[in-house]
Structure 1
Amino acid sequence: MLKTIILLTDTVQQQQPLANLLREHNRGLTFCSALRAADLGAIEADVLGDARLVSFAADVAVPEKFLLRLGYGAYKFYAAPTQYPGLPPAPDECDEDPRCYSVIAQSMMIWPDFKKVVGLETVTIPDGTVAAERERMVFSRLAYLFWQMSGMIASEAADLPGIIESSDGRRPALAMMN
């Protein structure tokens, strides 16, 4: 039974609104807050079997051992320019600001081939938009995607349905890894 959502966010101010939204869909949830990988390590091991990790706009590497202990998976909400899917561009790679971004909800797995996209939207930035407004537009779409998916995130489902996933949806067995 899903009992705990571990919220990994970029700022502490994001924690309460996200928790409140998820609690609307599942009043029985408890929440653990994390801003860094060290915060994840401080969570009691017996909590993880009934927990789901949700990373929202956080650029934190989650340890593999932590992911393996989660009973209800882990999902990452992030934004990326479409010309660099999955990665932000290096500062010297592009003189202009990107005009199109993807906001993505993706499963977090230790096996890259088994990650799947569970939510996706595109944001087109009008010409002449200043950097602060561009960031606001992209963040607003990311928050909207989270809002749309909040019912599924707070649900008992052990695995959210993918809209883009590998052709073989099986999780590798230990024998496959050797």
Structure 2
Amino acid sequence: MLDTILLLAGDAERPVLAEALRRAGEGVRVVAAGSTRDLPADLRTARLVAFVFPEIVPTGVLERLGYGAYNFHPGPPAYPGWVPAAFALYDGATEFGATLHEMTAKVDSGIICDVERFAVPSDCDLQGLETLAYGACLRLFERWAEALVSPLRPPHLPLRWGTRKCTRKAFAEMGRIPEGVPEEEALRRVRAFGGRLDT
């Protein structure tokens, strides 16, 4: 029987989200942690909830969870991976959002449970888009907190993840602007990746 929710979140979010989960599931123990190293050893009666959490959860942890693991990703399914907002800005995306999904050994590839979408403002920069995506994650959390403390699994949506993974390496490469790059391309990179001119 599900009796423990393990919450992985940043320092600012942990106390607030942990309290919300406690209110949603009376009698369910909530363990809030800032690292996977702080998780308990026995996970048979636990479910993991990760909220905009940068650390990759080890496969061994995922396999030992009796009630699965769920992640709030600050990007829509089209943009799996690291700092998805930057790649969306570079692409000129007009829509962005956040995704609730099951966690698997391969990052941002698990079954999608829900998506919160919004229009991208025309003058949006990276910080602005990340802030909007964070707000979308909070709305998803509010919508699903009660279900996540229940032993039932959230429903699945017939959606697929995008095939291009946003990575740290790609982010760094796009942030370097080679000499001779057309001005329009340079401006796109500066807006999305905070690019700098290579000399």
Rate the CA distance shift 1:80–1:149 in 2: closer, same or farther, 3 A: same
2: distance between equivalents of 1:95 and 1:55?
A: 27
Alignment of 1:162 with 2:156, yes or no, is yes
- More displaced 10-residue stretch of structure 1: 140-149 or 31-40: 31-40
Please state if 1:63 is matched with 2:58.
Answer: yes
Q: Which position in structure 1 is the counterpart of 2:16?
A: 17
The aligned residue for residue 37 of structure 1 is 36
1:139 corresponds, among 126, 130, 134, to 134
Match of 1:171 in 2: none
Following superposition, which runs of at least 4 residues in structure 1 exceed 3 angstroms of deviation? 88-99, 130-133
**Residues 113-140 of structure 1: CA deviation (Å, up to 9, x unaligned):** x821011121222111344433322211
Question: Could you tell me how far apart the structure 2 residues matched to 1:119 and 1:97 are?
Answer: 23
What TM-score results when the alignment is normalised by the length of structure 1? Answer: 0.75
Look up the SS of the partner of 1:162 in the other structure. Answer: coil
Larger Rg: 2
State the alpha-carbon separation in 2 of the partners of residues 90 and 16 from structure 1: 26
Alpha carbons 1:5, 1:53 under 8 Å: kept: yes
Report deviation, 1:109: 2.1
Instruction: Determine if contact 1:81/1:98 at 8 Å carries over to the other structure.
Output: no
CA RMSD of superposed structures (Å): 2.8
The SS at the match of 1:27 is: coil
Deviation at 1:2, TM superposition (A): 1.3
Structure 2: segments with no counterpart, 5+ residues? 161-199
2:174 matched residue in structure 1: none
Task: Describe the superposition over 1:68-94 as per-residue Cα deviations: whole angstroms up to 9, x where unpaired.
Answer: 111110001012267x52134597997
After superposition, the Cα gap between the structure-2 partners of 1:89 and 1:144, relative to the gap in structure 1 and judged at 3 Å, is: closer
Structure 1 gaps of 5+ residues are 167-178
Q: Aligned residue for 2:111? A: 116
Shift of the alpha carbon at 1:39? 2.5
- Are the structure 2 counterparts of residues 120 and 14 from structure 1 closer, same or farther at C-alpha, using a change threshold of 3 Å? same
Is the 1:101–1:123 contact (alpha carbons within 8 Å) kept by the matching residues of 2? yes
Identity of aligned residues (%): 28
Q: Tell me, yes or no, if the aligned pair for 1:100 and 1:122 is still in contact at 8 Å.
A: yes
TM-score (norm 2): 0.68
**CA distance in 1 between partners of 2:104 and 2:93 (Å):** 28
**Structure 1 position 22, deviation (Å):** 1.5
Deviation at 1:16, TM superposition (A): 1.5
